[in-house]
């Protein structure tokens, strides 16, 4: 079972310094997430959900403990290596979409591919395939401000999957959307999990959204607990 883990955290702690005071956000967390899981991470606001997601995604570093993803220790990588690793292995989906406002949907989705050696035509093809997968082909040439929130988030998901990462990290992906658009996003994530075999970790405080996941974890006072219902 442990060998099946895609994500393995051991004794992970995270402190933040706020002035002279140190805030202990996460305490000695152990966590194993199997490949192909769809995990919902719940907990009160400020409990450290985003912090945990960022540590797994390698955009932040733990104060203590080890993080191993697909057999690779990421906590000890250099910034440069970590960047390359992220580009290959992780797709991020943010609550506020975080698209570049000056670029069209297609260019936004293409952005991660600029880091590869793919020729322009191939980049364009893959960007459009990803847009097709999220059902936004006709909006390829629209800028973010010309799209609805739900459409923006679908562009965000297309950008996250365009380089075909194993792991999708979504931080409150439906947090800024109405119920209907939110449901469409959840449908999409579920499909990506079931049909494309993406491992997904989704932070949410909406039980309705969490119900779509295979497992639910609660983070409270720096400790994890498994949902009894799941």
- Six-digit token pair at 149? 């929130």
| 197, 223 contact by CB (below 8 A) | no
Of 1-9, 44-52, 122-130, 174-182: span binding ligand ADP (CB under 6 A): 44-52
Number of residues that bind ligand ADP (CB under 6 A): 12
Min. distance of Cβ 68 from ligand ADP in angstroms? 21
Q: Which region holds residue 200: left if phi is over 0, alpha if psi is between -120 and 50, else beta? A: beta
Of 1-9, 48-56, 103-111, 160-168: span binding ligand ADP (CB under 6 A): 48-56
| 86, 59 contact by CB (below 8 A) | yes
For tokens 């006709």, name the residue. Answer: 138
Which residues touch 148 (CB under 8 Å, ≥6 apart)? 181
Q: Pattern of binders to Mg ion over 18-57, x per CB under 5 A? A: --------------------------------x-------
Query: 19-38: which residues touch ligand ADP (CB under 6 A)?
Result: 23, 25
| Closer residue to ligand ADP in complex, CB, 49/198 | 49
Residues in the site for other proteins, rule: CB under 8 A? 54, 57, 59-60, 79-80, 83-84, 86-88, 92, 94, 96, 98, 100-103, 107, 111-112, 114-115, 120, 123, 159
Number of residues that bind Mg ion (CB under 5 A): 1
Whole-angstrom distance, CA of residue 125 vs CA of residue 129:
6
Q: In sequence order, what are the beta bridge partners of 92?
A: 169
| 209, 174 contact by CB (below 8 A) | yes
Min. distance of Cβ 7 from ligand ADP in angstroms? 17
The count of other CB atoms within 10 Å of the CB of residue 227 is 14
Where along the sequence are the contacts to ligand ADP (CB under 6 A)? 16, 18, 23, 25, 43, 45-51
């Amino acid at each position: 079972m442990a060998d099946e883990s895609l994500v393995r955290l051991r004794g992970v702690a995270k402190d933040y310094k706020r002035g002279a005071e140190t805030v202990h956000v996460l305490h000695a967390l152990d966590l194993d997430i199997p490949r192909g899981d769809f995990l919902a991470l719940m907990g009160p606001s400020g409990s450290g959900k985003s912090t945990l997601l960022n540590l797994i995604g390698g955009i932040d570093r733990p104060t203590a403990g080890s993080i191993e993803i697909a057999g690779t220790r990421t906590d000890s990588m250099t910034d440069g290596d970590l960047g390359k690793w992220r580009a290959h292995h992780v797709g991020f989906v943010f609550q506020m979409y975080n698209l570049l406002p000056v670029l069209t949907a297609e260019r936004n989705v293409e952005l991660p591919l600029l880091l590869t050696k793919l020729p322009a035509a191939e980049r364009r093809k893959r960007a459009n395939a990803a847009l097709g997968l999220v059902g936004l082909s006709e909006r390829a040439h629209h800028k973010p401000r010309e799209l609805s929130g739900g459409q923006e988030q679908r562009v965000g998901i297309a950008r996250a999957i365009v380089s075909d990462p194993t792991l999708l990290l979504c931080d409150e992906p439906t947090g800024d959307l109405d119920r209907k658009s939110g449901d469409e996003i959840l449908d999409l994530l579920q499909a990506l999990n079931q049909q494309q075999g993406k491992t997904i970790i989704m932070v949410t405080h909406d039980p309705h959204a969490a119900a779509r996941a295979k497992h639910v974890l609660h983070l409270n006072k720096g400790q994890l607990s498994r949902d009894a219902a799941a």
